[in-house]
């Protein structure tokens, strides 16, 4: 058990928030991969998809919160060419690298350059949540380095958020995107397979950064309670009003897809994420102890994300995925059983990974370097 007051420089409610998102993500991915297609057509699955569609915005907001909190705490280190600056840049580059590695259609550079199809290149360049996080935080750090002042950074990302929300519906089916390199256009639209292009998903990360500044200014129990009460009310307000506004008998845009590019859907999901975040904070204030496993899952959310995807969907080094064996074949009870078994495996491996990080960091670094080196050697030699 872990005391909620012992946070060791971390805000524990953020780890719990990520842990809740991780569990929802695992369940959602398993159900999407193995549930019978006829069951997926039933009315309740749309509700399921909406709920589990909140996990990605939750991770994006969480990434922004973490970036913002760290930036405000170590501001001087991040505005100069310090070891902390380069370490942070390196971390974001690694996140980008992992994001693209997960999309490799083949573990062979030769095959990728000589025999790959257009569909293979679409797969490789698709922008998922890791690329969205990596490039947005990399951009934010570079802006911070040049403008120096936190106030200027916040002004820039506020203006960018407004601009992104404004133009995203206008970017649908734009011809000029076809003239851009595929690796660039994938960051701007959803029409070539990208699940989390910057338009509009970078807004969630920017919102997290903005939230972090307000959060730290009120970082004592009395002020935070008022802050999260206001946050939950605001979240409820926009979650309810945004879809209502969308369906009013007038529109600002000639084409506006609520589920993909509408600012209203961004606000709806953001409101739901704020409600979840506030709920988790209230939970941490009411419970004195909590099993240490829960925040551990939040701390190892990146590892769990990377580890579980090949198990469910496969990869060039794992063709025997859950999708291959059970894709579109199982009923709800069977799918839930797969989710439980996968969760147990993921949790067990994540615990060992966290233990290495906490107790044998040098050994973990050797393992990480060895895995990356092996992966690159296989990629360029095969």
pLDDT in tens, 19-41: 999 999 999 999 999 999 999 99
Residue 56 lies in a domain: yes
Per the structure, the complete domain to which residue 154 belongs is given by 2-342
Residue 352 lies in a domain: no
Confidence of residue 245 (pLDDT cuts 50, 70, 90): confident
User: Is 243 within 8 Å of 171 (Cβ atoms)?
Assistant: no
Tell me the C-alpha distance between 225 and 215, whole Å. 11
Provide the domain count of the chain.
Answer: 1
Mean pLDDT of 174-199: 82
Residue 375 lies in a domain: no
Residue 295 lies in a domain: yes
Residue 40 lies in a domain: yes
- Give me the pLDDT at residue 3, please: 44
CA distances to 136, 166, 202, 237, 246 from 161, rounded to whole Å, are: 12, 9, 8, 20, 19
Mean pLDDT lowest among 1-15, 115-129, 249-263, 278-292: 1-15
CA distances to 54, 65, 224, 307, 380 from 109, rounded to whole Å, are: 35, 37, 51, 23, 5
Residue 260 lies in a domain: yes
For the stretch 20-23, contacts whose Cβ atoms lie closer than 8 Å and that sit 24 or more positions apart, written own/partner, are 20/58, 20/276, 20/280, 21/55, 21/58, 21/59, 21/62, 21/301, 22/297, 22/298, 22/301, 22/304, 22/305, 23/297, 23/343
Residue 234 lies in a domain: yes
User: Is 132 within 8 Å of 202 (Cβ atoms)?
Assistant: yes
- Residue that is written with structure tokens 């960018």 in the block: 160
Q: Global pTM? A: 0.92
User: Is 267 within 8 Å of 305 (Cβ atoms)?
Assistant: no
- Give me the pLDDT at residue 175, please: 63
- Residue that is written with structure tokens 């039933």 in the block: 42
β-pairing, 2-3 with 289-290? antiparallel
Average pLDDT over the chain reads 88
Q: Phi and psi (nearest 5°) for 289?
A: -130, 155
Tell me the C-alpha distance between 87 and 142, whole Å. 13
Tell me the C-alpha distance between 348 and 215, whole Å. 33
Residue 358 lies in a domain: no
Region of residue 358 (left: phi > 0; alpha: psi -120 to 50; beta: else)? alpha
- Give me the pLDDT at residue 110, please: 85
User: Is 126 within 8 Å of 195 (Cβ atoms)?
Assistant: yes
């Amino acid at each position: 058990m872990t005391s909620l007051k012992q946070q060791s420089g971390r805000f524990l409610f953020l780890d719990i928030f990520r842990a809740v998102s991780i569990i929802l993500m695992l369940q959602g991915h398993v159900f999407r991969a193995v549930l019978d297609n006829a069951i997926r057509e039933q009315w309740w699955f749309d509700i399921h998809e909406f709920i589990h569609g909140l996990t990605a915005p939750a991770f994006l907001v969480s990434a922004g919160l973490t970036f913002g909190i760290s930036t405000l705490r170590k501001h001087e280190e991040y505005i100069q060419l310090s070891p902390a600056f380069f370490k942070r840049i390196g971390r974001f580059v690694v996140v980008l690298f992992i994001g693209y590695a997960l999309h490799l259609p083949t573990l062979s550079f030769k095959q990728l350059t000589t025999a790959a199809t257009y569909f293979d290149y679409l797969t490789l360049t698709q922008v998922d949540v890791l690329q969205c996080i990596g490039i947005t935080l990399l951009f934010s750090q570079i802006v911070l380095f040049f403008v120096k002042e936190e106030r200027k950074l916040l002004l820039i990302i506020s203006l960018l958020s407004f601009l992104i929300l404004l133009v995203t519906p206008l970017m649908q089916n734009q011809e000029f995107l076809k003239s851009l390199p595929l690796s660039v256009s994938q960051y701007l639209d959803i029409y070539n397979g990208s699940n989390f292009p910057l338009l509009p998903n970078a807004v969630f990360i920017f919102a997290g950064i903005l939230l972090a500044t307000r959060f730290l200014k009120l970082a004592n129990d009395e002020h935070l309670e008022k802050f999260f009460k206001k946050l939950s009310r605001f979240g409820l307000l926009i979650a309810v009003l945004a879809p209502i506004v969308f369906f009013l008998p007038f529109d600002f845009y000639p084409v506006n897809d609520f589920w993909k590019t509408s600012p209203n859907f961004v606000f709806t999901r953001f409101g739901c994420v704020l409600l979840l975040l506030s709920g988790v904070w209230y939970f941490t204030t009411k419970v004195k102890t909590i099993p240490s496993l829960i925040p551990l899952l939040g701390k190892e959310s990146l590892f769990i994300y990377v580890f579980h995807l090949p198990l469910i969907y496969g990869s060039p080094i794992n063709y025997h995925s859950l999708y291959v064996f059970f894709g579109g074949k199982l009923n709800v009870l069977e799918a839930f059983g797969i989710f439980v078994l996968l969760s147990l495996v993921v949790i067990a491996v994540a615990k060992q990974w966290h233990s290495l990080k906490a107790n044998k960091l040098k050994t973990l670094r050797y393992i990480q370097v060895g895995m990356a080196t092996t992966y690159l050697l296989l990629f360029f030699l095969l």
